[in-house]
Homo-oligomer: A and B are copies of this chain.
Amino acid sequence: MALETEDLFDSSDSVRSGKPLAHVQTAVFPGPIRLVNGGVLPELTIAYETYGTLSEHKDNAVLVFHALSGDSHVAAHDENDDPGWWDLLIGPGKSVDTNRYFVICANVLGGCRGTTGPDSVNPETGKKYGVDFPSITVADIVDVQRRLVESLGIERLLAIIGGSLGGLMALDWGSRYPDGVAGIAAIATGARMTTQALAFDIVARNAIMSDPHFFGGEYYDKDRGPAIGLAIARMLGHITYLSQESMNRKFNADRNVGRKIDTSFETKFSVGSYLAYQGDKFVERFDANSYIALTLALDAFDLGHDRETLVAALRRSMCRWLFVSFSSDWLFPTFQARELVDAAICGDKRVSYCNVKSDCGHDAFLLENELPVYGSLVSSFLHNLSLDWNADDERRQALAESYGKPDAPQKTRLDYDRILALIPPMTKILDIGCGKGELLARLKARGHERLVGVEIEEGLVMKCVERGLDVVQLDVNDGLKSFSEHQFDFVVLSKTLQTIRNVELVLDEMLRVGTRAIVSFPNLGFRRHRERLNGGRAPLTDPRPGREWYNTNDVRFLTILDFEEFCERKGYRIYKKASINSTTGEQIDCDDNENADVVIVVLGR
């Protein structure tokens, strides 16, 4: 390969040389190992690496699952070591801080980087398995990881982190070994492959298996294997890992400038050279039978094919969940993460979710661009899992002090005091438009156990996760489809009504999901607003400096009377009403439509 190509081909994906990794350990288990589809392995070898130190309480183990073509080398062990495929995220002082956590990463069953797979030698025959390698499922792959964890003397993991295929594995673990892990971060993944993603895998397998040098999988003793087919499969894979935008960014400027690389494939266009290079490189380090075995396992995986089965699968889990998707990922599109989130919520699980804004496609979870977001989410998630685990207050305090990020001092919000006063202890609360989670944090401090926030802004979602709150990123204007009937005692919408387009939908949904709704909003009937309009100027309900009629987020204007009439029309019953002058703090009982600037209402059916 000529030097000039190197600038072009810095791939996010682990373009790893085939050379042995220095820090790999192996664990060997005697057979027979029985597999889901009926196959049996006479012996099992697992290649894995570990980072950091397992704590005395064995409460800091983090298991990382790699994607299709990854391996155990998730991070460099020291300065002289080869880079790991997730060096950005994992290491001393990083998001997954190996000074704090004991990180384990193993090559998957069926892989070709040390763990038993089709190119391993079958001890019963002394020859490589090849086509005799039994059919495997994601469950088998996960069982092997579980075997390793047990053999390390770890009964319960602090966390599992997995992206892509690793995400499917994490989902499988969560539903089948519910008590084995405190929290799971499932990143850029889904309950099963989309039909489109499945179709790409099928074309890839067709390319490999139609390669005349595949020999039905018995190519190990031949001069050459199905290098063409495997390279074509890999080219397809690379297209699906990138987004339209990132491909254009990478290759549009010198689109027609092919690179001089030593390949039998087309190199006419820059993107063609890239694909040819990636395809050829992949053949050097990956085994075609592994590719087939692993993609078949991926394609057959199905955590639940509809809401009912998916809820049932996630209901079994006992861990906290963090789901992360990336907005431009089309291999595991956002709607798939939403399906998982919806099911977890419906199953009353503790779950947080962020759809990270990104134009890097599926690869985003391995790239630096969005690391400030997904790295922070993972780091906060792990930190709060640690705090949860340690019921022992003293140790918890120590942990919090050594690692915790102190909350910024809060501004007093009078309406929060009132809302808190309206909420009975120990009730279940959903806070819509929860912002940084101030209200939820105060409820948490008061001992409420089931608290969920909904928020649309990424930065605020991050802040809530940092605080250890469960928060789901969604646009409430689309409704609250994720939630079931009367899943909460109270659904709160504080000072958000005036920013909502689909008012009727949102209020209907609040009273479907909650037994009671608590709604606070600015009252346009307030004397000051009337005076302003009488003076010829439009009233402004948005108190933030610099906000005027043309740039406020407030798009709905209503008085207390308007709202009361609306409730009557809709058949909502107003159980309580607290009208406030927020400047003086006094509660207004007389002529509130003129004297109160904020009102808080408790609604029900």
A206 touches B194 (CB 8 A): no
Give which listed residue, B232, B266, B549, B561, contacts A556 with CB less than 8 A.
Answer: B549
Taken together as a complex, chains A and B put the C-alpha atoms of A247 and B202 apart, in Å, by: 14
A206 touches B525 (CB 8 A): no
A202 touches B538 (CB 8 A): no
Task: Tell yes or no: A28 within 8 A of B by CB.
Answer: no
Give which listed residue, B212, B269, B525, contacts A202 with CB less than 8 A.
Answer: B269
B265 touches A206 (CB 8 A): yes
**Which residues of A (581-596) have their CB < 8 Å from a CB of B?**
593-594
Give which listed residue, B247, B299, B533, contacts A533 with CB less than 8 A.
Answer: B533
A210 touches B232 (CB 8 A): yes
Taken together as a complex, chains A and B put the C-alpha atoms of A203 and B200 apart, in Å, by: 12
Provide the A127-153 mask, 1 if CB < 8 A to any CB of B, else 0.
000000000000000000000000000
Taken together as a complex, chains A and B put the C-alpha atoms of A525 and B566 apart, in Å, by: 24
Give which listed residue, B300, B550, B562, contacts A503 with CB less than 8 A.
Answer: B550
Give which listed residue, B202, B269, B536, contacts A561 with CB less than 8 A.
Answer: B536
Task: Tell yes or no: A530 within 8 A of B by CB.
Answer: yes
User: Chain B contacts of A255 at CB under 8 A?
Assistant: 195, 198, 305
B203 touches A236 (CB 8 A): yes
Taken together as a complex, chains A and B put the C-alpha atoms of A195 and B210 apart, in Å, by: 27
User: Chain B contacts of A504 at CB under 8 A?
Assistant: 550-551
B235 touches A503 (CB 8 A): no
Taken together as a complex, chains A and B put the C-alpha atoms of A242 and B200 apart, in Å, by: 13
Give which listed residue, B530, B538, B562, contacts A524 with CB less than 8 A.
Answer: B538
Taken together as a complex, chains A and B put the C-alpha atoms of A249 and B560 apart, in Å, by: 47
B203 touches A239 (CB 8 A): yes
Query: What class of interface size applies to chain A in its complex with B?
Result: 35 or more
B559 touches A557 (CB 8 A): no
User: Chain B contacts of A205 at CB under 8 A?
Assistant: 266
Give which listed residue, B269, B534, B555, contacts A530 with CB less than 8 A.
Answer: B534
Taken together as a complex, chains A and B put the C-alpha atoms of A205 and B210 apart, in Å, by: 16
Task: Tell yes or no: A9 within 8 A of B by CB.
Answer: no
A433 to chain B, nearest CB (A): 17
B202 touches A275 (CB 8 A): yes
Shortest Cβ distance from A561 into B: residue = B536
A207 touches B232 (CB 8 A): yes
Give which listed residue, B198, B235, B247, B264, contacts A203 with CB less than 8 A.
Answer: B235
User: Chain B contacts of A558 at CB under 8 A?
Assistant: 538, 549-550
A199 touches B247 (CB 8 A): yes
A196 touches B529 (CB 8 A): no
Shortest Cβ distance from A500 into B: residue = B550
Excluding A210-B265, A252-B305, 20 further A-B contacts by CB distance (< 8 Å) are A194-B244, A194-B247, A195-B248, A196-B242, A198-B255, A199-B235, A202-B268, A202-B271, A203-B275, A206-B232, A206-B275, A244-B330, A255-B305, A269-B299, A501-B555, A524-B538, A536-B593, A537-B561, A550-B556, A555-B555
Q: What are 6 A-B interface contacts by the 8 Å CB criterion? A: A195-B271, A198-B255, A198-B269, A199-B272, A202-B269, A537-B561
